[in-house]
């Protein structure tokens, strides 16, 4: 079956919303303009309730079906925030804000969910209640966690929740999904190694913190190669090295390391943290230096619920004719917080042959809009069929 005809009719309007959002990106929780536009449109669509300020700048809209015999409440979530990247697309609607751009397609996610909300408010061809969730600060701010901590799930009695992300490389308007662990837990670490600084011509009088750091960096790779079960997914990456000296002839007193750990299970996450601390301090001590390690737990692993993954895949097949098996993704996604509170699923919609997300030349593919909107609507009408 093709996409719903109504979304083909709405495509120019939804595209205009999307491109306006693209021109005016906002980062993290500073989505004041975006949130205002979303709330205004939801009110204009005739939503039964529109609430702002959930999770600081999040917006929630409530749409009641023609009947409510099921008593079911389904949440649909889109993220709204942009990235601190300087856009290099050259588009007519490129970002007007220097150093900020929608490089991950959240403008498209927001526009598609707005399109679905308009359709659902017009038709109300379902038995139950839909809660549309527009979330700030997915890109590192934990907006999903903030909305949950504000009591969103209990306040609107949400039973299950669904999310979507565009995916470059997947044919436009096609879908892919997987049950279970899908996106990785995203942790960060900072290590300060302190030796004894001195003149570079007299290394015997120092404890070379740079040499120690090099050994620590190498040793940390043993977490994946020798500590983790080979069938488990784990990434340990040191991404920043900075010494306390900028001189050519000084052995630095301190070296600061930063990096990230990506895992797909609680067991691997705990192992990584334990071994990272033990290796760093142990290697440093063997040279007579010290290592101070700070480990920051970020987004948890995003886990799709099996039953709801099947619902999501079936809705995708209705819209696109097929739904592919998605690969594991070592990137993070804070929809994980919502899936920890309620069962549900997260799906990928194809963005076609475009630049990758988080790239300065990326742009959301507007041709994916009808498929994305149709999937949102299909989930609702499938899970809460009209009485």
Could you read off the pLDDT of 93-119 as tens digits, one per residue?
999 999 999 999 999 999 999 999 999
My answer on whether 329 and 367 are in the same domain is yes
* Rounded (5°) CA angle 278-239-251: 75
Check whether residue 139 and residue 75 sit in a common domain.
yes
230 and 359 in a common domain: no
Within this chain, do residues 85 and 125 fall inside the same structural domain, yes or no?
A: yes
CA-to-CA distance for 265 and 282, rounded, in angstroms?
Answer: 25
Q: Check whether residue 150 and residue 244 sit in a common domain.
A: no
- pLDDT of amino acid 1: 42
pTM: 0.95
Are residues 154 and 271 part of one domain?
A: no
CATH number at residue 145: 3.40.630.10
Judge if 177 and 223 occupy the same domain.
Answer: no
- Count CB neighbours of 48 within 10 A: 13
Of the candidates 367, 386, 387, the residue with the CA atom closest to the CA atom of residue 3: 367
Domain boundary residue, one of 265, 299, 333: 299
Note the pLDDT tens digit of each residue in 324-376. 999 999 999 999 999 999 999 999 999 999 999 999 999 999 999 999 999 99
Q: What is the pLDDT of residues 174-197, one digit of tens each?
A: 999 999 999 999 999 999 999 999
What does the pLDDT read at residue 3? 66
pLDDT at residue 4, rounded to an integer: 81
- pLDDT for 121 equals 98
* Segments forming the whole domain that contains residue 29: 5-182+301-383
Helix 369-383 to helix 306-320 angle (10° resolution) is 130
Q: Identify the CATH number of the domain in which residue 279 sits.
A: 3.30.70.360
197: Cβ contacts below 8 Å, ≥ 6 apart: 206, 209, 244, 245, 250, 251, 252, 253, 254
- DSSP, res 66: S
Question: Do 289 and 191 belong to one domain?
Answer: yes
The position carrying tokens 């909107």 is: 373
Quick one: 318 and 289 in the same domain?
Answer: no
pLDDT at 211 over 90: yes
Instruction: Please check whether residues 284 and 351 belong to one and the same domain.
Output: no
Residue 207 · residue 289 · CB < 8 Å: yes
Two structure tokens written together for 280: 């760093």
Average pLDDT over residues 28-34: 98
Alpha helices, H only, the chain: 5-23, 32-45, 106-123, 143-149, 152-155, 209-220, 222, 266-286, 306-320, 335-341, 369-383
Domain endpoint, select from 299, 327, 345? 299
Bridge partners, residue 181, by sequence: 303
- The 10s digit of each residue's pLDDT in 237-271 is 999 999 999 999 999 999 999 999 999 999 999 99
User: How many domains is the chain built from?
Assistant: 2
Last residue of a domain, one of 250, 284, 299: 299
* 177, 321: one domain: yes
CB-based contact 382:200 (threshold 8 Å): no
pLDDT tens column, 275-320: 999 999 999 999 999 999 999 999 999 999 999 999 999 999 999 9
pLDDT of residue 141: 95
For residue 41, the number of C-alpha atoms closer than 13 Å in the C-beta half-sphere is 23
Regarding whether 36 and 157 lie in a shared domain, the answer is yes
């Amino acid at each position: 079956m093709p996409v719903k005809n109504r979304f083909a009719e709405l495509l120019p309007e939804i595209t205009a919303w999307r491109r306006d959002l693209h021109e005016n990106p906002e980062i993290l929780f500073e989505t004041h303009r975006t949130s205002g536009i979303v709330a205004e449109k939801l009110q204009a669509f005739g939503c039964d309730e529109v609430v702002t300020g959930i999770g600081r700048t999040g917006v929630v809209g409530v749409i009641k079906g023609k009947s409510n015999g099921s008593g079911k409440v389904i949440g649909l979530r889109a993220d709204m925030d942009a990235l601190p990247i300087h856009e290099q697309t050259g588009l007519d609607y490129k970002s007007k804000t220097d150093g900020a751009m929608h490089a991950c397609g959240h403008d498209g996610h927001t526009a598609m969910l707005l399109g679905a909300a308009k359709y659902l408010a017009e038709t109300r061809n379902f038995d139950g209640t839909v809660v549309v969730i527009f979330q700030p600060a997915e890109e590192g701010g934990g907006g999903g966690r903030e909305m949950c901590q504000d009591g969103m799930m209990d306040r609107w009695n949400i039973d299950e929740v669904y999310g979507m992300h565009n995916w470059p490389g997947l044919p436009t308007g096609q879908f892919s999904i997987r049950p279970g662990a899908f996106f990785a837990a995203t942790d960060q670490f900072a290590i300060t190694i302190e030796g004894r600084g001195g003149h570079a011509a007299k290394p015997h009088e120092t404890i070379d913190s740079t040499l120690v750091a090099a050994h620590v960096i190498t040793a940390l790779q043993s977490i994946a190669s020798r500590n983790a079960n080979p069938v488990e997914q784990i990434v340990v990456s040191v991404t920043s090295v900075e010494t306390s000296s900028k001189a050519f002839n000084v052995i630095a007193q301190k070296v600061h390391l930063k990096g990230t750990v990506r895992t797909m299970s609680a067991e691997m996450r705990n192992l990584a943290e334990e071994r990272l601390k033990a290796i760093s301090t142990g290697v440093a001590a063997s040279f007579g230096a010290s290592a101070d390690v700070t480990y920051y737990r970020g987004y948890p692993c995003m886990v799709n619920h099996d039953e709801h993954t099947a619902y999501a895949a079936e809705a995708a097949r209705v819209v696109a004719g097929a739904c592919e098996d998605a690969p594991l993704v070592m990137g993070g996604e804070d929809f994980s917080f919502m899936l920890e509170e309620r069962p549900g699923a997260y799906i990928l919609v194809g963005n076609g042959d475009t630049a990758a997300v988080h790239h300065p030349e990326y742009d959301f593919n507007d041709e994916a809009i009808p498929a994305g909107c149709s999937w949102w609507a299909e989930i609702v009408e499938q899970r809460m069929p009209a009485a």
